[in-house]
Structure 1
């Protein structure tokens, strides 16, 4: 079930965050392209109940609403800062609260940020396998950006090229999912 939202979720654990800003930019662009609304969350939006939660039911009502919005989204833009070669631990904790079927068939654009090129494979070696477990439809193009890929907060032309490619792929997945849902409803 979709709530006609593109949802961005950033694994950053501090604000302000370049990762969240990047996820916001990609989410806004995808929502505009798909003609849908958008909202972006980060780990901070789940609040203090996240730390002790062993299931979604252990979260406070506001945090459960965030998780429900993620699950019901038409598509997701996922991002995490790179921390010691992977995504952040609290980001993984949020994902661990989801049921394996929660993201099945959901279009997902993967993004990550990091301090340099040595972390660039985090999207392929960490994030892509994680969402493959959930049987999500992850776009073939993922986007990794380091600090030098931004000029005055704006993505460089090279990064914008990858973003546009991922957006085109995600738009196709969203359209296909809508058509499939319409056929199933008949």
Structure 2
């Protein structure tokens, strides 16, 4: 599997990149994956040119391919003016509107104060919900005082575990793995089962007593183009 990491940090060294690296390491600990990091700082000029001429440069094209072909995505931005940075938003603006549909995404941000932590729910989560990505429940925000403090490591591990689980579920869908459960135990009839199954699994309902049930994360993953 492939894991893409998008870091919008501007400084060197960058706390944004540090958080991105820790999230990536925790994720691959849960599910083996090839990691590719996209540093938006290095793509700023090509992103601007893309807006004016409509064509991505070579480096930007490589970054777009890494993000769109990945099985999972980690995105980390510094907080600017109580929201994600303009560079961060610009990169996702140049992607095709369906590029992230059904893709598991872990959202994270860094900031100088814990007062900006609501950026996760007021800005980042709505952005990726609009792009129809599957955003993991746990978002990770790291303020300056969080580094080395109790709690950050636990949030990182929890969010990474959720992302690893979604990536594994998506891989299971592509591999054709399905789970079969008893209708009576699930309290769902065959019509309901057929309705919720992905298009690739329609017709997989076996009988009135047993049917194919696809886990929720796999149903979402099946929406990917």
TM-score normalized by the length of structure 2: 0.74
Indicate the residue corresponding to 1:52 in structure 2.
49
How many residue pairs match? The answer is: 178
Task: Please list, as runs of the form range in 1=range in 2, the aligned pairs for 1:29-178 lying within 5 A after superposition.
Answer: 29-54=26-51, 58-151=55-148, 156-178=149-171
**SS of aligned partner of 2:125:** helix
RMSD of aligned residue pairs (Cα, Å)? 1.8
Greater C-alpha Rg: 2
Indicate the residue corresponding to 1:13 in structure 2.
10
Kindly provide the CA deviation profile for residues 33-75 of structure 1, in whole angstroms up to 9, marking residues without a partner as x. Answer: 2111112122123252222212895221122101110111110
Greater than 3 Å deviation, 4+ residue runs:
none
Query: Which deviates more from structure 2 when the two are superposed, residues 106-115 or residues 49-58?
Result: 49-58
Instruction: Determine the C-alpha separation between the residues in 2 that align with 1:167 and 1:87.
Output: 21
Kindly provide the CA deviation profile for residues 143-181 of structure 1, in whole angstroms up to 9, marking residues without a partner as x. Answer: 111011113xxxx33011111111121122111111111
Report if aligned partners of 1:10, 1:78 keep a CA contact under 8 Å in 2: yes
Label 1:56 to 1:102 Cα distance change in 2 as closer, same or farther (>3 A): farther
**SS of aligned partner of 2:164:** helix
Instruction: Determine the C-alpha separation between the residues in 1 that align with 2:77 and 2:85.
Output: 7
Indicate the residue corresponding to 2:206 in structure 1.
none
Instruction: Determine the C-alpha separation between the residues in 2 that align with 1:75 and 1:68.
Output: 13
Label 1:57 to 1:180 Cα distance change in 2 as closer, same or farther (>3 A): farther
Report if aligned partners of 2:78, 2:85 keep a CA contact under 8 Å in 1: yes
**SS of aligned partner of 2:80:** coil
**SS of aligned partner of 2:87:** helix
Kindly provide the CA deviation profile for residues 74-112 of structure 1, in whole angstroms up to 9, marking residues without a partner as x. Answer: 101111000110010011010100112100111111110
